[in-house]
Amino acid sequence: MRILKEVIPYIVIVLVVVLLRTFIATPVIVSGSSMDPTLKDGQLLILNKLAHRFNRYDIVVIDVVINNKKERIVKRIIGLPGETVEYKNKKLYINGEKVRDDFSNITYDFSTAELGEKKIPKNHYLVLGDNRNDSVDSRDYRVGFINEDDIVGKPVFRLWPLNKIGIL
């Protein structure tokens, strides 16, 4: 009985950690250079899995299937459900109006119509990497518009490297 009393606190700690990681927050590692200069390859982030409201310019982590392989990618939301998105002469236009895009100045011209839909479908988002020349994102047919259900959450804190630690 005494051993059980000593073990119970450890079991509770393990259960709490598992529940937190499964439902609330989990670490995620940035893979590749698609989010340069905002996020670098190998950085360790804490992902808020409770986030369910997404705005333009939010950074999100998404589950996608590329080449029959499930991957987790980090991208920035550019277009919201029901919007038309167009880049003309490296400038972002949402529903025909010029909008600021401080995250990249190298985006080639494209529009949501070229991606198969005039407007972004309901419950879907258009996502891009900040390093637009080296990003598999909504412009790629394998990714396309992102269903809200495929968004795992928002990274909220950077743990690594230590010189970049802090809130995103």
Q: Classify 2-159 by CATH class.
A: mainly beta
Token couple for 135: 């990003």
Per-residue exposure over 28-59, b if at least 16 CB sit within 10 Å of its own CB, e if not: bebebbbbbebbeeebbbbbbbebeebebebb
DSSP readout, 121-155?
Answer: PTTEEEEE-SSGGG--STTSTTT-SEEGGGEEEEE
Residue 1: pLDDT over 70 = no
Q: Which of 33, 70, 75, 122 is catalytic?
A: 75
Domain segments of the chain: what residues? Answer: 2-159
Q: Is 111 one of the annotated active-site residues of the chain?
A: no
Classify 67 as helix, strand or coil: coil
Classify 129 as helix, strand or coil: coil
Q: Which of 33, 34, 111, 122 is catalytic?
A: 34
Q: Is 75 one of the annotated active-site residues of the chain?
A: yes
C-alpha 35/C-alpha 30 separation (Å) is: 8
pTM of the model: 0.83
Per-residue pLDDT tens for 121-162? 999 999 999 988 888 888 887 788 999 999 999 998 898 888
Per-residue pLDDT tens for 83-115? 999 998 888 999 999 999 888 877 888 888 888
